[in-house]
Structure 1
Amino acid sequence: MKIALLGYGRMGKEIEKIALQRGHEIVIKSIGEETYDIKKADIAIDFSIPSSAYDNIRNCIDNNVPVVSGTTGWLDKYNDIVDLCNQKKGAFIYASNFSLGVNIFFELNKQLAKMMRTLNQYTVSIEEIHHTKKLDAPSGTAITLAEGIIENSHKKAWELDTKTSEENIPITAVRTPDVPGTHTTTYASEVDAIDIKHTAHNRKGFALGAVIAAEWLQNKTGVFTMRDVLNLG
C-alpha cells in the first residue's frame, strides 16, 4: 500500500517503521502545515492533533481515500464524518486505541460490567495514566471504557476528577513522563476490589494495530471499528 501519514509525531514515526517492515510505502508525511496531494495515497492513517483531524479525515473521504484515525479530542464532529462517509461511499475506521490488547480489554470491560450490574455494593471507577505530552484528558481509551460500562450497567455518564455516585463513573487522569498508557477499571466494595488493567510497554502495539486496520480497510466501503477488524462481534 501507498500510505499517507497525517501527523508525523512519535506515533507517526512508529507507524512508519511498522509499515515499512510490512512492505508498505510512505508517500506523504504531513506535520499539518504543508500542502499535499492525498490522491497519491492508497490509504491514510491520521494521528494528528484534535484541531486538524476533522479536516484531514474529510479531505480523505472527499477524495475517495480510505482513512484510519486514532486522533482523539475531535469526536464532537464524529457523526458528521459518518454521514459524509456514507454519502460518498467512503471507508473509515476510528479507534480511541488501536492496540490489539486494548481492544480485547474493551470486550473484557463490557463483560465485567454486565456481571457487576446488579451488585450495588460495588462502586466503579477508571484511572488512566499517560505521558505528560498527551493533549487531552481523559484519554479516548478511558472514555471508551466508560461508554462500555454505561452500555451494560445502570450508570448514566462519566465525569473527570469527581467522586462516584449512583449515576456517574469517575475517571482519574494522571500525567507522568514516559508512560505510553495504563488503564485500570476498578470495582470496589467494603470487603474487596476487582481490577482489570491494561499496561502498554511502548507504542509499537498502537502502531501495529493501526497498520493492521489500514490493511483490513482496503477495498471496503463503510464505517468500521476495531471490533470489525479483529472480528470481535
Structure 2
Amino acid sequence: MKIGLLGYGKMGKTIENIALNRQHDIALKVDKDTESYNLDGIDVAIDFSTPDAAVDNILKCFSHNVPVISGTTGWLQHYDEVIALCKEREGSFLYASNFSLGVNIFFELNKTLSKLMANLPEYTISMEEIHHTQKLDAPSGTAISLAEDIIKNSKYGTWTLDAAKPKELYIDAKRIADVPGTHEVTYKSSVDTISIKHTAHNREGFALGAVIAAEWIAGKKGVFTMKDVLNIG
C-alpha cells in the first residue's frame, strides 16, 4: 500500500517506521514547510498535521478520491462540514481523537462506568489529562471524547478547564515534557473514590493504530471510527 503522510513530525516519523515494517511504501511526506503536494498514486493518506492544516488536507483527499485517516485534533468545529462533504463526494474518512487500541478499549470502559454511575449523584466526576509540551491543543481530543461520553450519562451539561461549577465537568489539562499521554477519570464521594486510568508509554501505540486503520479502510466508502476497525461497541 502506498501511504501519504500529511504531517511529518514525531508522530509522522513513528507512523513511517511502523508502516515500513508492515511492508507498506511511504510515497508522500508533507511537513509544515511543504507548500503544495500531489496525491496521485496514493492509496491512503494519514493526517497528523496541525489544527489549521487538517481540514484542507482532508478535503484535498476527498477531491482526489483518496481515503484519509485523521488523528489531528483541534479542528472539530468543522467536523460536521467535513462529514457532509465526505458523504457528498462518496469519500472515505476515519477520524479518531486517539488511535491507540488500548485507549479505544478505555473509551468503552468509560462509557460503561458512566452508565453504572448515572443514578449516583453523590459522586462528583473529574478528569486529568497529561501530554507533552509540544501538544498544541488543550484539553486533548481524547479527553473531550471521554468527557462527552460522561456528559451523556450524568448531571453535567458541559466540560470546563476552569474551576468546576455544579454542572460542569472539570478537566485538568497538564503539559509536561516527554509525556506521550495519560488520561484518568475519577468519581469521588465522601466515602470512596473510583478511578480508571490509561497511560501511554510511547507513541508507537498511536502510530500502530493509525496504520491498522489505514489498512482496514482500503476499498471502503463512508465515514468510520475506530469502533468499526476494532468491531467493538
Give structure 1 regions of 4+ aligned residues with deviation exceeding 3 angstroms: none
Partner SS state of residue 38, structure 1:
coil
Structure-2 residue corresponding to 1:169: 169
Structure-1 residue corresponding to 2:35: 34
Structure-1 residue corresponding to 2:129: 128
Q: Distance in 2 between matches of 1:162 and 1:77?
A: 28
Give the deviation of 1:150 after TM superposition: 1.3
Cα contact 1:123–1:164 (8 A) shared by 2: no
User: What is the RMSD computed on CA atoms of the aligned residues?
Assistant: 0.8
Structure-1 residue corresponding to 2:80: 79
Q: Distance in 2 between matches of 1:197 and 1:114?
A: 17
Structure-2 residue corresponding to 1:59: 60
Q: Distance in 1 between matches of 2:101 and 2:138?
A: 22
Q: Distance in 2 between matches of 1:13 and 1:182?
A: 21
Q: Could you give the per-residue CA deviations for residues 138-179 of structure 1, whole angstroms, max 9, x where no partner exists?
A: 0000000001111222321111132252x2211010111100
Q: Could you give the per-residue CA deviations for residues 153-210 of structure 1, whole angstroms, max 9, x where no partner exists?
A: 2321111132252x22110101111000000000011111101000000000000000
Give the deviation of 1:35 after TM superposition: 1.6
Cα contact 2:51–2:74 (8 A) shared by 1: yes
Identity of aligned residues (%): 63
Structure-1 residue corresponding to 2:92: 91
Structure-1 residue corresponding to 2:214: 214
The question of 1:198 aligning with 2:198 is answered yes
Q: Distance in 1 between matches of 2:110 and 2:43?
A: 35
Structure-2 residue corresponding to 1:45: 46
The question of 1:158 aligning with 2:164 is answered no
Q: Distance in 1 between matches of 2:158 and 2:83?
A: 23
**Structure 1, 27-36 or 72-81: larger mean CA deviation:** 27-36
- Normalised by the size of structure 2, how large is the TM-score? 0.98
Q: Could you give the per-residue CA deviations for residues 81-120 of structure 1, whole angstroms, max 9, x where no partner exists?
A: 1011100111000000000000000000000000000111
Q: Distance in 2 between matches of 1:223 and 1:163?
A: 35
Give the deviation of 1:228 after TM superposition: 0.7
Q: Distance in 1 between matches of 2:18 and 2:163?
A: 39
Cα contact 1:43–1:65 (8 A) shared by 2: yes
Cα contact 2:121–2:155 (8 A) shared by 1: no
Long gaps (5+) in structure 1: none
Q: Distance in 1 between matches of 2:174 and 2:83?
A: 32
Cα contact 2:97–2:145 (8 A) shared by 1: yes
Q: Distance in 2 between matches of 1:133 and 1:10?
A: 10
The amino acid that maps onto 1:227 is: K
Long gaps (5+) in structure 2: none
Give the deviation of 1:62 after TM superposition: 1.0
The amino acid that maps onto 2:179 is: V
Partner SS state of residue 39, structure 1:
coil
Q: Distance in 2 between matches of 1:211 and 1:17?
A: 10
Q: Distance in 2 between matches of 1:206 and 1:94?
A: 13
